[in-house]
Amino acid sequence: MAAELFDSRRYLIPFRSSLLPQIFCDTLVIGSGVAGLRAAISAAEHGEVIVLCKDEPQNSNTAWAQGGIACVWSPDDTADAHVADTLTAGAGLCDAPIVRRVVRDGPARIAELLDWGMRFDHGPDGVPVLGREGGHGLARILHAGGDATGRELQRCLWQRAAKAQGVRLFTRCQALDLITPGSEPGSPVMGAITHHPRYGLQMIWAKATILATGGAGVVYRETTNPRTATGDGIAMAYRAGASIADMAFVQFHPTCLYLAGAPRSLITEAIRGQGAHLLDHDGHRFMLDEHPLAELAPRDVVTRAIIRRLAARGGTNVLLDCRHIPDFAARFPGIAALLARFDLDAARDPIPVHPAAHYTIGGVMTDDHGRTDAPGLYAVGECACSGLHGANRLASNSLLEGLVLGELAGRAARERTHPGEAAPANGNGKAPAGWFAPARPAPIPIVSDIRPSEHGELDLSDVESSLRAAMWRNAGIERTGARLRDADDMIGFWARYTMDKIFDDTRGWQIQNMLLVAWLIARSAAWRTESRGCHWRTDHPAPDQAMAVHDCWRRGRTACEARPVRADDPSLRAAPDRPLERA
């Protein structure tokens, strides 16, 4: 039933394209976080760009990022070491060519940021200070403002994009759906239908469309994500016929502030990198019993250890002990200010913490230049599944991914804006056959007819709160087949009374997108009868080598398509194993 409801709905709203305002550009970027802005800066070199910001820039996942940017920057570090740490965390599902490309190109993107005025934290010698986080064998994390890296990165890229010739920034403008001339998968994407509170519905036609809409953490009751992270890009891509991959893999951050009445604010992993300890309520440092890296073990290990500890000893939270860290408030001013609002002082008080949904690893399946299998559509950042993270994201690799693959996707979009030129080569040096077909943006008649609903109505607030609670309970940190089937049944019930409705506001559209994305997560997790990375099935606690593949889902297809993990590419091993000279 759920499949029929989600697969039958091509557009969220009824419309006739000829009756709506028409806007044209070469490249449309949907999303204004690190990946979207970096893609826009690159795409502006070969045409006019429109960037859509669903809310205000400060409400993106990038701006909320407390962690830093992982990059080989120290003479003591090597690209091979960073690659190895990433592959280990990814638990057999990383696409090695993507990992090597991102790690190899990272130093150039960091040098570029420094040239653009990015204010990284420096030591007395003027060299950026490097921190260490979970899963990394060495200190290779660059931070800004201690725990405000995302905010500073957003500022830097936003200012650079605003100065770029031919870039227009549309704030508080939501994309509802991608435009395709046909309703079947395989139709080329030609832009998006959008809504602005002042200008209403608009058709934005583009030669290339880049999704950079962030993740879907808000489908869970406990989340570190801003309210905008409702999975819109993944849902739009699915309706447009693109393949969605690896949705079972949702990373839960182990340390979020857990106080009654307080938001589930992230307590950055960099604090554990500075030596903070996790204690149970008996004062026992339990991570020493769980993993050789203790608190710096991969996030899924720490998260499950906390859940097991709470189940064995009771209680609602564990404690993050930072009392032995000198100058805590100076090192982490944002966290110190947050704690002060609740009369907590990290120099005096252990911080009550609990896991929460943090990062959507799965998403729209792409190649190493952000191309999807929907012609004309690219995806970058958290809404994409590039293969970098595999089954579990290594800490602070996401901002690096946004910078590197955002630049590559923006550059690759030239194959659409200047179709007579040669396509950029992919990782093996060959042009990707069949990934694009030249097309010019031109208004074509598109009619979306949606029959009036024959079902009753459910209260949207009830649907949203029930969905988030059910996902946390049934498709959260630990899963079973029975609970995942229950989640599928519940999502199908809510969808029956929600997906056939026509809404005229952002909240209704977001909840429809949340239902679709939650269904994809539950569907993927039910299919993956193994435990791997951050996907943990208590009824299938071991990994299954037969499932060391990407599970891909596409509208109208009754079963998933298993795509092999891309093997290592020897040509990328020849890259220099040292960072660029510091700017």
**How confident is the model over 465-484, as pLDDT tens digits?**
999 999 999 999 999 999 99
Report the share of the chain in percent with pLDDT over 70.
Answer: 92
Tokens read off for 210: 């880049």
- Residue 331 a catalytic site member: no
What integer pLDDT is reported at residue 436 of this predicted model? 42
Question: Model confidence at 435, in pLDDT bands (50, 70, 90)?
Answer: very low
Q: Stretch 51-55: mean pLDDT, rounded?
A: 92
Strands (E), 341-389: 351-360, 363-365, 377-379, 384-385
Region at 241 (left for phi over 0; alpha for psi -120 to 50; beta for the rest): left
**If you average pLDDT over every residue of the chain, what do you get?**
90
CATH number assigned to the domain covering 2-249+361-448: 3.50.50.60
Is 2-249+361-448's fold the same as 253-355's? no
Q: Stretch 411-422: mean pLDDT, rounded?
A: 86
What integer pLDDT is reported at residue 437 of this predicted model? 39
- In 241-389, alpha helices (H): 270-273, 299-313, 328-331, 333-340
What integer pLDDT is reported at residue 65 of this predicted model? 59
What integer pLDDT is reported at residue 475 of this predicted model? 98
The rounded distance, in Å, linking the Cα atoms of 371 and 45 is: 18
Does residue 221 carry a pLDDT above 80?
yes
Q: How far is CA 496 from CA 450, 493, 556, in A?
A: 15, 5, 18
Spatial CB neighbours of 435, under 8 Å, sequence gap ≥ 6: 367, 371, 373, 375, 423
Does residue 92 carry a pLDDT above 90?
yes
What integer pLDDT is reported at residue 313 of this predicted model? 86
What integer pLDDT is reported at residue 374 of this predicted model? 97
Spell out the domain ranges in the chain: 2-249+361-448, 253-355
Does residue 300 carry a pLDDT above 90?
no
Does residue 429 carry a pLDDT above 60?
no
Does residue 180 carry a pLDDT above 70?
yes
Q: Which residues pair with 479 in a beta bridge?
A: 537
Does residue 94 carry a pLDDT above 80?
yes
**How confident is the model over 342-364, as pLDDT tens digits?**
999 999 999 999 999 999 999 99
Spatial CB neighbours of 471, under 8 Å, sequence gap ≥ 6: 219, 220, 221, 487, 518, 521, 522
Going by C-alpha positions, the residue among 417, 503, 478, 501 that lies closest to residue 250 is: 478
What integer pLDDT is reported at residue 439 of this predicted model? 45
Q: Which residues pair with 379 in a beta bridge?
A: 211
The rounded distance, in Å, linking the Cα atoms of 323 and 39 is: 42
User: How buried is residue 114: exposed, middle or buried, by Cβ count under 10 Å (0-12/13-18/19+)?
Assistant: middle
What integer pLDDT is reported at residue 441 of this predicted model? 55
Does residue 545 carry a pLDDT above 50?
yes
The rounded distance, in Å, linking the Cα atoms of 212 and 34 is: 9
What global pTM score does this model have?
Answer: 0.92
What integer pLDDT is reported at residue 63 of this predicted model? 58
What integer pLDDT is reported at residue 572 of this predicted model? 66
**Lowest mean pLDDT, pick from 273-277, 301-305, 573-577:** 573-577
Q: Which residues pair with 363 in a beta bridge?
A: 245
Q: What share of the chain is helix, strand, coil (3-state, %, to 5)?
A: 35, 20, 45
Report the share of the chain in percent with pLDDT over 90.
Answer: 75
Question: Model confidence at 426, in pLDDT bands (50, 70, 90)?
Answer: low
Does residue 422 carry a pLDDT above 90?
no
Spatial CB neighbours of 73, under 8 Å, sequence gap ≥ 6: 107, 110, 128, 130, 140, 142, 579, 582
Cα of first residue to Cα of last residue in the chain, in angstroms, is: 57
CATH fold for domain 253-355? Flavocytochrome C3; Chain A, domain 1 (3.90.700)
**How confident is the model over 525-537, as pLDDT tens digits?**
999 999 999 999 9
When mean pLDDT is compared over 61-75, 120-134, 310-324, 364-378, the highest value belongs to 364-378
Q: Which of 101, 104, 151, 299 is catalytic?
A: 299
DSSP-derived 3-state class of residue 20 = coil
| Residue of higher predicted confidence among 419 and 77 | 77
**How confident is the model over 360-416, as pLDDT tens digits?**
999 999 999 999 999 999 999 999 999 999 999 998 999 999 999 999 999 999 999
Question: Model confidence at 216, in pLDDT bands (50, 70, 90)?
Answer: very high
Question: Model confidence at 232, in pLDDT bands (50, 70, 90)?
Answer: very high
**How confident is the model over 439-458, as pLDDT tens digits?**
445 678 999 998 878 788 88
Going by the DSSP 8-state scheme, the letter that residue 108 receives in this structure is H
